[in-house]
Chain A
């Protein structure tokens, strides 16, 4: 029977579904019976979910204009060099 320490050690592979079926089954059972590990698993899942679900901020207009101008200049430079 895995301990809480075993569960924590395997948490990343558990979340990424990289465990062999037997280890996964044992850890599933541990989580069902251990409220502390259940909370850690649940809140870690939520942590990852909000990071993955958070769209990146728009590039500020002035910065985007500067970037596009630099890209255009670079492209023109290359064309002239050909």
Chain B
């Protein structure tokens, strides 16, 4: 090989299918952090997310021949991780069944209460570690139906269509949940980042 460019996912998948020993482990290294984040954000549980991480790559390897390249490899991995995570969540929830409709029906979440500008850029005021902790805790506080949509659309940056397809939702349902998730997170983060002790419109 003369190229110094890292091999593409598609190339590694093809190599792995033909029995190359290094190709699949390379894909695992490339995406394990992000798959662990998806799992953690959906299950809200360390033990479950570690299981999901492993099961995702085991299933991906087993079904690699079935991956036809109709979607990006990463999107395909996220789909497996999302299914595994939701299964874990269902298992833990058996004692406490809350229907999704019930969970999403209050409508109160689109009401915005915290109207205040933020004090500078959070990225400048907090370390990556502190921000990550805060962002994860805030996502964890969302209802599952909002959390799944937000994680796929705004954290993993999948398209609306991919998100709808993965969760078995209509496009309007994805958009409506995404709006409410974004507004709830904005509200919660504003409580942390707002200018303290000032009138909300002091900037005017």
Contacts and interface: CB of A to CB of B under 8 A. Distances in A.
Interface of A: 8-9, 11-13, 15-16, 35-36, 39-40, 42-44, 46-48, 50-59, 63-64, 66-68, 70-72, 74-75, 78-79
B173 interface: no
Given A51-B135, A75-B61, A63 B50 contact: yes
A63 B157 CA distance: 25
Contact of A47 (B53, B110, B189): B189
Contacts of A16: 160
Contact of B154 (A36, A48, A57, A75): A48
B116 A72 contact: no
Interface stretch (B31-39, B71-79, B87-95, B97-105): B31-39
B103 to A, nearest CB: 20
Closest 7 CB pairs of A and B: A56-B37, A56-B33, A12-B179, A47-B186, A44-B186, A59-B32, A39-B115
B25 A72 contact: yes
B167 interface: no
B33 A58 contact: yes
Contacts of B118: 42-43, 46
Contact of B117 (A13, A39, A48, A63): A39
Interface of B: 19, 21, 24-25, 28, 32-34, 36-37, 50, 53-54, 57-58, 61-62, 110, 112, 115-118, 121-123, 128, 131-132, 135, 154-155, 157, 160, 175, 178-179, 182-183, 185-186, 189-190, 193, 200-201, 204
Contact of A50 (B24, B110, B123): B123
Contacts of A70: 54, 57-58
A52 B154 contact: yes
Nearest to A16: B160
Q: Determine chain B's interface SS by DSSP, over half rule.
A: helix
B57 A40 contact: no
B115 A36 contact: yes
A43 B54 contact: no
B36 A59 contact: yes
Given A13-B175, A40-B115, A52-B154, 19 more contacts: A8-B110, A12-B179, A16-B160, A46-B118, A46-B193, A47-B182, A48-B154, A55-B128, A57-B132, A59-B33, A63-B53, A68-B25, A71-B25, A71-B57, A71-B61, A74-B58, A75-B24, A78-B61, A79-B19
Nearest to B61: A74
Contacts of A68: 25, 28
B135 A54 contact: yes
A34 B134 CA distance: 30
Contacts of A66: 54
